[in-house]
Amino acid sequence: MSGLFERHRPTLDAALQAVAKRDFWSPYPEVPSGKIYGETAKEDGLAAYKARLGQPFVLADHPAEGAVGAEVSPYGPALGITYPAASVETLIAASRAAARSWASAAPEVRVGVCLEILARLNARSFEMANAVVHTTGQAFAMAFQAGGPHAQDRGLEAVAFAYAEMTRTPAQATWTKPQGKGEPIIMEKHWRIVPRGVSLAIGCNTFPTWNSYPGLFASLATGNTVIVKPHPAAILPLAITVEIIRQVLVEEGFAADIVLLAADAPGSEITKDLVQHPAVAIVDYTGSNAFGTWVRENAGAAGVYTEEAGVNSIIIGATDNFAGMCSNIAFSLSLYSGQMCTAPQDIFVPRGGIETNEGHKTFDDVAAGIAAAVDGLLADPVHAAGVCGAIANPATLARIATARSLGRIVRDSAPVEGLDDARTATPLILAVDAADTNAYAEERFGPIAFVVAVDDIEDGVNRAAELAERKGAITVALYATDEAQVLTAADRFAAAGVNLSVNLAGGIYVNQSAAFSDFHVTGANPAGNASLTDAAFVANRFRVVMWRRPAAA
């Protein structure tokens, strides 16, 4: 039995309990506090990040045939970091060469290594937060949480599911078949976990760790080797991750190349060649539907797990907390400038208005209420910067500019004050009619929202559900005061395969998905074919193989 497994067993056991119970739980504190992470953790993390800048990122003994790296912070400066780069064939060969000892290690040994990696990642959360800030544009607090503890939660969740699945079948058993009055037939049977092969984790620009850790850790725990392919604009967070993983692997006597970094240059991406390589047996992908479709169609016999995109909706039928509703929606629209895959885009409101605790509100009242709440939220420039962060991709600014003509502007987008070198944009809110499907029925990534006039709550629910079925959706929110309407909507959105939040008005937002309790993406609509993390996400990453013989007399 592995020492690491024993050391981290309480964490594993608690995680297994948590995913069964689904109450709040996390072993990785989300508060970026020196009292938790050490008094100098914040300064140390910043210093560690700064020491990376303008330097080659050294991954000891990593295959390298060149160097790539062109990351530019959404807050302005180029990072100037280069990473070892190697051809697809070199990476695959190195991955396969490292496979054997990892595959034959006991599941407990692998799980122990994964838990140690997660613990070390947690200790490095401040360094990671800086790396995430300057590759994704997230504000620091969010980068700390989403890039650090919350990503670690999702990795642990995957490890816990992997452990549960790998240990469902005993390592050995005696099979005794009665033979009437004769002697029974007795067989000795042995089972082992056999991994699938090389696993490829394709990261995204906006959540390089949070979205990559589940597949990375699920594949690693189940004995596969992993090639981590970061987005060219967000390599650093995954390079740090790979560095830590390789250090732990080597300390435990395994080959470092069990996990490799496949850094590439913008315009010369090697992703397609990796996906199509016959040795790649598993692909985890986060990104656009267009490339997701390509991955699903071109991965051959590989198992493919995707989180793609969709059109997330809010349906407002009625509320007994108009101010709370507007504030809650305003935060969801503003957080990370709408660049979360869970951010709402379409807000369906009855043409004739809604009933609220403040009396009847017209369609325009509702739109104006949300716009005013956004204005209020972002009134203080420092606070606005902390909520909105920066825009990861310049194309998002262009998309906002184009979107302005798609409807009546209720609230215009503007740069965030005080972040002069940064690429920033507050939410653009447009009013349209349900007939204007060309405006609101496509995903428009970024801080672009539509308040859509519909007949009534049922009309809104049906339009949102049909959008989810056709274009995908990761989240939907509903505001209703009639319980029957709530339950009907719950049925409809279950059929559309989208998770629903009802009457959020306080400190929980539709964007948020808590590990160990909320599944992220259902796998049941075009927003992704997998869910983070359920048994289906891990159970097919390995196979079980037996040998048996008659038991010794």
Binding residues for its own copies (CB under 8 A): 20-24, 103-104, 165, 168-170, 173-179, 185, 187, 189-192, 194, 196, 296, 301, 486, 490-491, 493-495, 497-508, 514, 517-519, 522-524, 529, 531, 534-536, 539-540, 543-550
Tell me the C-alpha to C-alpha distance, in Å, between residue 386 and each of 12, 333, 336: 34, 14, 9
444 vs 492 by CB, closer to its own copies: 492
Q: To the nearest whole angstrom, how small is the minimum distance from the Cβ of residue 19 to its own copies? A: 8
Q: What is the Cα–Cα distance from 468 to 525, expressed in whole angstroms?
A: 7
Residue 378: exposure state from Cβ atoms within 10 A (0-12, 13-18, ≥19): buried
Q: What is the Cα–Cα distance from 318 to 479, expressed in whole angstroms?
A: 6
Q: Which amino acid is it at 264? A: D
304 vs 378 by CB, closer to its own copies: 304
78 vs 545 by CB, closer to its own copies: 545
Reduced 3-state DSSP string for 58-87: CCCCCCCCEEECCCECCCCCECCCEEEECC
**Is residue 450 helix, strand or coil?**
strand
Q: What is the Cα–Cα distance from 533 to 11, expressed in whole angstroms?
A: 17
Q: To the nearest whole angstrom, how small is the minimum distance from the Cβ of residue 414 to its own copies? A: 32
123 vs 514 by CB, closer to its own copies: 514
Identify the CA nearest to 474 among candidates 410, 522, 516, 512.
Answer: 522
Q: To the nearest whole angstrom, how small is the minimum distance from the Cβ of residue 294 to its own copies? A: 14
23 vs 420 by CB, closer to its own copies: 23
Q: What is the Cα–Cα distance from 430 to 177, expressed in whole angstroms?
A: 71
Q: To the nearest whole angstrom, how small is the minimum distance from the Cβ of residue 469 to its own copies? A: 12
**Is residue 442 helix, strand or coil?**
coil
Look up residue 440 and give its two tokens. 């609101």
Q: What is the Cα–Cα distance from 379 to 119, expressed in whole angstroms?
A: 38
398 vs 545 by CB, closer to its own copies: 545
Q: To the nearest whole angstrom, how small is the minimum distance from the Cβ of residue 96 to its own copies? A: 12
Max Cα-Cα span within the chain:
89
Q: To the nearest whole angstrom, how small is the minimum distance from the Cβ of residue 489 to its own copies? A: 8
Q: To the nearest whole angstrom, how small is the minimum distance from the Cβ of residue 213 to its own copies? A: 20
Cβ–Cβ < 8 Å for 531, 538: no
Q: To the nearest whole angstrom, how small is the minimum distance from the Cβ of residue 164 to its own copies? A: 9
Look up residue 463 and give its two tokens. 């339009």
152 vs 337 by CB, closer to its own copies: 152
Cβ–Cβ < 8 Å for 166, 545: no
326 vs 400 by CB, closer to its own copies: 326
Angle made by CA atoms 79, 84, 88, in degrees to the nearest 5: 125
- What is the H or E stretch that residue 488 is in? helix 483-495
Q: To the nearest whole angstrom, how small is the minimum distance from the Cβ of residue 52 to its own copies? A: 34
401 vs 544 by CB, closer to its own copies: 544
Q: To the nearest whole angstrom, how small is the minimum distance from the Cβ of residue 37 to its own copies? A: 17
Q: What is the Cα–Cα distance from 452 to 191, expressed in whole angstroms?
A: 57
Cβ–Cβ < 8 Å for 150, 214: no
Neighbours of 120 (CB within 10 A): 15
Q: To the nearest whole angstrom, how small is the minimum distance from the Cβ of residue 544 to its own copies? A: 6
188 vs 459 by CB, closer to its own copies: 188
Q: To the nearest whole angstrom, how small is the minimum distance from the Cβ of residue 281 to its own copies? A: 10
**Is residue 460 helix, strand or coil?**
helix
The residues with which 527 forms a beta bridge, in sequence order, are: none
48 vs 494 by CB, closer to its own copies: 494
Q: What is the Cα–Cα distance from 263 to 243, expressed in whole angstroms?
A: 13
- What is the H or E stretch that residue 306 is in? strand 303-307
395 vs 495 by CB, closer to its own copies: 495
Q: What is the Cα–Cα distance from 182 to 89, expressed in whole angstroms?
A: 59
291 vs 519 by CB, closer to its own copies: 519
Q: To the nearest whole angstrom, how small is the minimum distance from the Cβ of residue 162 to its own copies? A: 12
Q: What is the Cα–Cα distance from 412 to 430, expressed in whole angstroms?
A: 8
